[in-house]
Amino acid sequence: MHNARIEINGPEVPILDGSAVPFVRQILADPLTQLDQPVEAIRILKDIEFKTDQGWARLVPSDVPKMSFHIDFKDAAIGVQSKSINMSNGSFVRELCDSRTFCRSVDVETMRANGLARGGSLENAVVVDGAKVLSPGGLRHADEAVRHKMLDALGDLTLSGAPIIGHYIGHRAGHAITNNLLCVLFATPGSFERVSCSDDVLQILPGIGACLEEYRAAS
């Protein structure tokens, strides 16, 4: 889906179950309209990086949209996780969309004491306490945490306004780092080009070919 109007009647997107799967399920269940206008993509031409003391993110040239991510948390329930995915052909639906946001139980207590996360619960986030997963049913994937960070990054990259053909690499990166990475990309002459997608290029874009049956088979 590369052309949609999204309307929200509140201050933020509803958290639902903490993942993207309720949105994906509804979008795939409804018929989509094929438009006559060509799809435009952003092709990465040279390495771009944004770095802080907490982490970094990088965009490098690649023939296919690809994402790699590494996280490192002290909590044993999360620990060190790494994952790399070719984002072509609906892999977002199969691999990432059902992975929930996560936090430590002590962070929940702190946020609530400050009047935040008032709608948060064990039903819409993976809450961990050391080596324990407190959320009912446990994890959906052994590496659900890094998958959710990749889900976050994919959403952040969508703010570029077009699919990105390149390799995103994140190391302990969050929303702010990925957003700043896009700012660096657009401020760096010669770092990218906008391309009108041929049929061959369309076939490698994220989401192309995804269907409800594929989601159900993976869930």
What's the total number of domains in the chain? Answer: 1
Residue 193 lies in a domain: yes
Residue 128 lies in a domain: yes
Residue 8 lies in a domain: no
Q: Which residue has the tokens 């690499």?
A: 169
Residue 97 lies in a domain: yes
Residue-number span of the structural domain to which 63 is assigned: 21-218
CA atoms of 197 and 43, how far apart (whole Å): 10
Reading the block at residue 31, the tokens are 């018929």
What pLDDT sits at residue 37? 81
pLDDT higher than 90, residue 180? yes
Phi, psi (5° rounding) for residue 52? Answer: -130, 180
CATH number at residue 114: 3.30.1700.10
What pLDDT sits at residue 118? 56
pLDDT higher than 70, residue 197? yes
Catalytic residue among 70, 148, 171, 175: 175
Query: pLDDT exceeding 90 applies to what percent of the chain?
Result: 58
Residue 91 lies in a domain: yes
pLDDT tens profile 90-109: 888 889 999 999 988 877 76
Residue 165 lies in a domain: yes
Q: Are 93 and 210 in contact (CB under 8 A)?
A: yes
148 is catalytic: no
Summary mean pLDDT of the chain:
88
pLDDT higher than 70, residue 206? yes
Average pLDDT over residues 114-130: 74
- Residue 112, helix vs strand vs coil: helix
- Residue 153's pLDDT band (boundaries 50, 70, 90)? very high
CA atoms of 131 and 110, how far apart (whole Å): 20
Residue 160 lies in a domain: yes
Residue 13 lies in a domain: no
| Choice among 65-74, 76-85, 117-126, 160-169 with the minimum mean pLDDT | 117-126
